[in-house]
Amino acid sequence: MIGQIRNLDMHLLLVFRSISDTRSVTKTAENMRLSQGAISHSLRKLRTLFDDPLFVRTQSGLVRTQKAEDIGAIVEEIVDLGQNLLGHHGGFDPPSAERLINICASDVGEVAILPRLLERVAREAPNCRVNVVKLGQQRLPELVDTAQIDLLITSVRPRMAGLKQQKLYRHGYAVLASAKSELPDTIDLDCYCSQTHLSASITSTANTVIDQWLKEKGRSRRVVLTTPHVLVLPYLLERNPSYIATVPNFLVDSLAEKGAFRRIDISGEFPSIDVFQYWPERFHHNRFNRWLREVVRGGFMHHVEYDT
């Protein structure tokens, strides 16, 4: 046992973790700034040390064996402990860090978080850049498995395992209408259902939270257009003042301040949804990911009028 421990060094564990994330010897070599030959040599040493292939080749890249899955969490813990032991060396130090921050979110999520996220990044991690990945349920497993996203922000629960989550806040809905609309400031559900609606849905179906809620009450609305892009709706409302759109409260209020739109409330009960941030379980103790989650959480806390 002592002889085996002597053969185990932090470099091998870093190679193991990188291949787990990238599923590629080539990408691991690029990330670690080493040759492919050096990474292949380290992988051979790992296989010998653990007496297991550890990674097998598939159409989607290198996939961990059961043995590699069993030791994966232990490797993550050892690497994180090593980084904490050495302080900033090998960890995440915001003022000096140079990296790309990949966030997956809808366009409404971008409106909600990006202004404050950019302010915080500019102040604390000025050499980092933010990249927003388009939110699509079909690509999420690929994005998570290949470590292409650091954080996912959505109200739609991902259909996959291996994710941690934290509730950011709850938002309600209101009607966004053109300033030229003749509707009163508050309407009842009968009036609401009788209008012509524009709708947004990030899923592959037009059956939104609003439509599901109406269906449960034996009601329905007439939707003439469904788009995955919420921010398209204001442009359409400007051209068609007889239409209305139901969007999150904070977006209605933000657009109404500009004078071209109005907020219309629905009297009585109306649905609301919870917004979460999700991250790969293997990033849970990662110093950078912890910092990013705290920054995002703080950015959403300014929605003080909503249930957090």
The domain ranges of the chain are: 2-85, 100-169+274-300, 173-272
Backbone angles phi, psi at 184, to 5 degrees: -70, 170
Instruction: Tell me the CATH number of domain 2-85, given options 3.40.50.300, 3.40.50.970, 3.20.10.10, 1.10.10.10.
Output: 1.10.10.10
Does domain 173-272 bear CATH number 3.40.190.10?
yes
Give per-residue pLDDT as tens, 229-241. Answer: 899 999 999 999 9
Q: What is the DSSP letter of 24?
A: -
Q: Are 31 and 89 in contact (CB under 8 A)?
A: no
Q: What is the DSSP letter of 203?
A: S
Q: Is it true that 100-169+274-300 and 173-272 share their CATH fold?
A: yes
Which residue stretches of 51-151 are H helix? Answer: 66-85, 107-124, 140-145
Q: Quickly count: other Cβ atoms within 10 Å of residue 272's Cβ.
A: 16
C-alpha span between 171 and 194 (Å, rounded): 24
Q: Are 46 and 12 in contact (CB under 8 A)?
A: yes
Point out the least confidently predicted range of 22-26, 176-180, 188-192.
Answer: 22-26
Q: Are 292 and 151 in contact (CB under 8 A)?
A: yes
Give per-residue pLDDT as tens, 65-124. Answer: 999 998 888 888 887 777 665 544 446 788 888 888 999 888 888 888 888 899 999 999
* CATH number belonging to domain 100-169+274-300: 3.40.190.10
Paired with 70 in beta bridges are none
- Read off the pTM: 0.64
Average pLDDT over residues 280-297: 87
Paired with 131 in beta bridges are 102
Average pLDDT over residues 275-301: 86
Q: Are 115 and 293 in contact (CB under 8 A)?
A: no
